[in-house]
Amino acid sequence: DAVELLEQEAVGSESLSTQGLQIEEHTEDFIVEFESKLGEAKEYLPELYLPGYVPEGYAFVELEIRRTSPESFIATYVYDDGANVLLIHQRQKERDGGGLFADYIVEGEALEGGAVYYQEDPEAGVNSCTYFWEEDLELYAAGRLDRETLEQILTHFLP
């Protein structure tokens, strides 16, 4: 299949770009340029979550995955509605690996299985929402969207 082909061809090369799925072997970066290829990215990285809800009008731009260690990675989905950008991050980290989004926290509440934090930036007009599940999973969404929409994006992010 295509993922096995990419794995085989990536050995010994610095970069590979085939049908919208790029692998940068030396940095272990993966870039998915087509939404139709997300299933192949999940096959390659089973821990990857897939968006189950994206607000109407937003189109997929890309998914970038950066593996930071054998057990850790950061996946960044980028969506655009023509005027605004929506970012959705998944951070899978080693237990006790520190927090990526600690600087963003201003308001929070405990949830079953984790905690959610929300921040508004009135000057930029960008709001963000971060969910911490377990010690090793963080989900983050940011854009010109209200809290309820950001929470809906994250609660529909599917393993």
* 149 DSSP assignment: H
Mean pLDDT per 10-residue section of the chain, whose length is 159 residues: 33 42 57 92 89 96 88 92 94 61 47 68 82 78 91 88
Give the pLDDT confidence score for residue 114 in this predicted structure: 62
Give the pLDDT confidence score for residue 27 in this predicted structure: 52
Residues in contact with 1: Cβ distance below 8 Å, sequence separation at least 6, in sequence order: 40, 43
Helix, strand or coil for residue 22?
Answer: strand
Give the pLDDT confidence score for residue 3 in this predicted structure: 35
Residues in contact with 98: Cβ distance below 8 Å, sequence separation at least 6, in sequence order: none
Looking up tokens 């970012």 gives 87
Give the pLDDT confidence score for residue 16 in this predicted structure: 42
Global pTM value: 0.73
Single-letter amino acid code for the residue at 48? L
Question: How many CB atoms lie under 10 A from the CB of residue 61?
Answer: 15
What are the start-end ranges of the H helices in the chain? 2-10, 38-44, 147-155
In tens, the pLDDT along 69-115 reads 777 889 999 999 999 999 999 988 765 545 444 444 445 554 445 67
β-partners of residue 80 are: 59, 85
From residue 17, how far is each of 24, 71, 155 by CA, in Å? 9, 24, 32
Looking up tokens 């009135």 gives 122
